[in-house]
Chain A
């Protein structure tokens, strides 16, 4: 369809063309080195919550939720509740992914909260957002995990897709053939596969990932949501590594966050920049798994509850100091989880 529009004379690059490309490329490379420090801070500020370093006035466009959060800690340590919703935020969406990002003297770490974790009343945490809004979810997290929440950031699926696309896709290596028909992800072996927004979302949402068996048929990840969290952690690590922002990208990111994110009213632009600086200038982000055990409710529903080792982990997120020795019991919950991805070298 497009061949009819080709240049009949063809194209052969000459010496000037080659030299010009290299020279300009070298200049870009130098500029990138200088900008990288600033860029990773900007990108993280955008990921944490929202506004552009370079663009004024964007601040007002982002939805603010009136969420009661814990007062700032004297030590400066803080927890940000990150929520990935499964639909538009103002239409009663459920929380598809819940995580707590902590910034303290040790650096930054992120704790993913399984969707099926129940609160003290036996209600799933992820329902709280749908039934009671942001405040209900903050209260449920605070009450169930015993940790403070200082800030709140939520993003809808379209925002996640755009975030990945704007950042240029996510590059991962895949070690086999996998599928999850429910979420629509299909993976083939590759040393370097670029996931666009839709593919990244489908992978991040996959709860019933299946691996193709040599003799035919598929084997399903028995760990469900826990396997999903493990895969999300790999994706997050790769994303932070690969994100490389320039002013145009930051501008696009801030615009999409204005359309697809909601933050608590304590998060204004200066605060976001402050948070972003802390994350970017500290040690690399550490991902943390929450020890949980399976349980059955009277109704027969399979849910998750905090395991004995959880107290130690939660103490690191501002929870009550735990009497247990550090390094609790090994995480049984993840045995057999399918984690077929790793950050790609390409």
Chain B
């Protein structure tokens, strides 16, 4: 291991966990989330010297971009109720379906947020990073982060309706 890689192995698990968390929350699938996490960690490795100083937010952002990229490409495939034993979706309950719809609606609302708000939501609520880390990453103050977060959450809640029902038309979302 040369100087380039210093710290990468030690921090690998924690960083991969962030990437996986983001990937799973967006895509709802273990395989997808693992792909996202592995690709994010590969890119972190490729650029480790410049990433290491702010690895958590960097990995969070890369994982988000990867996850949303994949989310966009595939039309929402809702787990269908299926009785075919060969179908991996077999056994999906109405609850699973509802959750998939909700997740989809939330991501759709997330990508529509203004840039700054989106940044804050991604780092703070998708990746669960602490406020200080978010403020430092965004080059601003904790107070400003709180403000953006507050506005963004209000907007997300509004788009999702009072009871978390998906208001946006799933088919209409690109």
Contacts and interface: CB of A to CB of B under 8 A. Distances in A.
Interface size class of A (residues with CB under 8 A): 35 or more
Interface stretch (A4-12, A121-129, A254-262): A4-12
A199 interface: yes
Contacts of B57: 194
A2 B115 contact: no
Given A17-B38, A28-B43, A1 B141 contact: no
Contacts of B17: 11
B82 to A, nearest CB: 22
A197 B140 CA distance: 13
Contact of B139 (A13, A32, A187): A187
Contacts of B47: 29, 32
A264 B45 CA distance: 42
Interface in A219-277: 242
Contact of A28 (B38, B42, B99, B106): B42
A21 B45 contact: yes
A344 interface: yes
Nearest to A186: B141
A165 interface: yes
| Residue of B46, B53, B135, B138 ringed by the most chain A CB atoms within 10 A | B46
Interface residues of B, number: 47
Given A25-B42, A28-B43, A28-B46, A199 B53 contact: no
Contacts of B135: 188
A1 B110 CA distance: 12
B66 interface: no
B34 A5 contact: no
B136 A190 contact: yes
A92 to B, nearest CB: 26
B75 interface: no
Interface in A174-224: 186-188, 190-199
A162 B21 CA distance: 28
A332 B9 CA distance: 51
Contacts, number: 119
Given A11-B33, A24-B39, A196 B45 contact: no
B13 A13 contact: yes
B20 to A, nearest CB: 4
| Residue of A2, A191, A345, A346 ringed by the most chain B CB atoms within 10 A | A2
A18 B17 CA distance: 12
Contacts of B136: 188, 190, 192-193
Interface in B1-58: 12-13, 16-17, 20-21, 24-25, 28, 30, 33-34, 37-39, 41-48, 50, 52-54, 57
B137 interface: yes
Contacts of B141: 186, 188
Nearest to A11: B20
Given A2-B25, A6-B21, A28-B43, A198 B30 contact: no
A183 B109 CA distance: 29
A17 B41 CA distance: 10
Interface of A: 1-2, 4-7, 9, 11-13, 17-18, 20-26, 28-29, 32, 165, 171-172, 186-188, 190-199, 242, 344-346
23 contacts: A1-B106, A5-B25, A5-B99, A5-B102, A7-B33, A11-B17, A11-B20, A11-B24, A11-B34, A11-B37, A13-B37, A21-B12, A21-B45, A24-B42, A172-B139, A186-B144, A190-B136, A190-B139, A192-B136, A194-B138, A196-B119, A199-B138, A346-B54
Interface of B: 12-13, 16-17, 20-21, 24-25, 28, 30, 33-34, 37-39, 41-48, 50, 52-54, 57, 99, 102-103, 106, 115-116, 119, 125-126, 135-141, 144, 153, 156
